[in-house]
Chain A
Amino acid sequence: MPPLLEVRDLHTEFRTGAGLVRAVDGVSYTVDPGETIAIVGESGSGKSVGAMSILRLIADPPGRITGGEIWFAGRDLMRLSNDEMRQVRGGEIGMVFQEPMTSLNPVLTIGRQITEALEQHEGITRAAADKRALDLLGLVGIADPARRLRQYPHQLSGGMRQRVMIAIALACGPKLIIADEPTTALDVTIQAQILELMKELTRRLDVALIIITHNLGVVARYASRVNVMYAGRIVESGDAAAIYHAPRHPYTMALLRSVPRLDRPRQARLDPVDGQPPDLTRLDQGCAFRPRCRFAIEACAQARPPLAPAGEAGHLAACFRSRELGALAGAAA
């Protein structure tokens, strides 16, 4: 089965006052139909810009997609006209953003925001769209949907607004939903509700899901495959279990080691990732993680390591020492 989405060597740049930032610097990955993958990274890693680039939602200026192909359901999205792209967004690809208050229109009713998408993409009548909007709100677990349809975003709680966003994303029967930090702004009990809902609905409706997040717990609970990003590149990619139990990139290893876990005994002291996040305007030809890496060697300063097989089938890491890393980490510990 061919992948639903294939991103090939994507490059997105921003021209800033401080210089050129390669926010996404040669990123390639695939998403299979119905699959949930996670893109994990910290601020500035390029995880959100990469996803926005798939949808061609990069403001130009200052940003520009400078290279790459995005194959989705047999077409290269980079070659579509703006009109065709508008049909893809919110049609075959749904979107859920972090902040439901700013991504919903404050002066339109909830009902109108859902029916607008339906009329735009499906070309159905107002009455049919109203009926479908009612069904969608029920689907995402909103009680008393008829009343909610007439309300405005400010009358809903954060959790309910995010449910509405999911209803809009699902409205036109998408094959893929891109969720950019969908629960970061929500409280932990509401976060759990929203993630369970997304998991249940994407399984039931066979929709593929890309979750973009910085939360390693969310990834562990919901994703089957994981791409870890650092300074605009994927540094490690593979099955969630492999990444968490046998990480093959020093950044992933350090990140997993640094977070305290509720299921483990209390540690005497946390083991942080050393140093500061990279300044993207000042990267050199070497590995971007090198200044913070405990295992850096001379070769790391010469060139950026390519993403290469490192362990079980499908497990990739961008580190010159990925194969010896297991033994090295054991010796260091």
Chain B
Amino acid sequence: MRKINYLQALNEAMHEEMERDERVFLLGEDVAWNMLGSSGGLVERFGKERVRNTPIAEAGFVGAAAGAAMVGMRPVVDMLMAPFLYCAMDQVVSIIAKSTYLYGGQAKLPLVIRAAMFYSAGYAAQHSDRPYPMFMTVPGLKIISPSSPFDAKGLLKSAIRDDDPVMCFEDGTLWTGTAEVPEEEYLIPLGRAEVKREGSDVTVVAVAGAVQHALVAADQLAEDGVSAEVVDPRTLAPLDRETILASVAKTGRAVVVDPAHETCSAASEIAAIIAEEGFWNLQAPVRRVTTPQTHIPFSPPLEQPLYPNPSRIVDAARGLMT
């Protein structure tokens, strides 16, 4: 099978969905210029009406996406960088997440907000955020965090076809590696976790870019005779509790890995679910491997040790085996 990278996968998803449904259009800063590498060829194919450069005015264009969705369009907003979402926070939380509910089901907002996460790359505190946990606290948003080119394409296509607002957090640490992606069309349903590797001794639930670290860690653990099962939630809201709990019921141990800051992280929520609903299956405490509660510093020797990596995951898992 042919191999493509994460950005190519996202680009194919956009091409296919814009071809399929003329209500779908892309807007955001520099989208027609393919600034990030995921919108190449779109403006040439679909024109500037549907591949719409915006002013640097996040509240304005995110709110405009909400209005366009309410009248039957299917906008895809590219935030360029995830922390730019903060400029549009009120539009995301007060308008996009709440309108269907607040108006008693009269409003429908089929839109996608794509947010690239540049971390582990020397961009310092204001540009390196992994802010999906903030949005997990807001009811009414669906949130996906693809961890491979295959997932990126299949999940983004489903998100564009969904009738609710979906936030897609695109992990910059995954962009360069290539992987097999079929040329035939496929979709990955929202709300379903995937067991990325089967195992019997410890469950490693990993989010976004941490999934690749968890798979490397599982290889290392296998050398020690520890069989790790790697579960990727893929959709962070709503979480697929059943798949996570079924895995923990099988293994009796859980490590939850998340590149976000530890407090109220996706890992915190998943660990709480395991502790609350899977406690009687546990043979050891639940462990989180996350980014500690400090800002992301610029200098590489400061930045690099902060994130989850295979050796921290291996250490956490080994600690549960004694």
Q: Do A and B come from one complex?
A: no
**Chain A residues in contact with chain B, CB under 8 A?**
none
**Chain B residues in contact with chain A, CB under 8 A?**
none
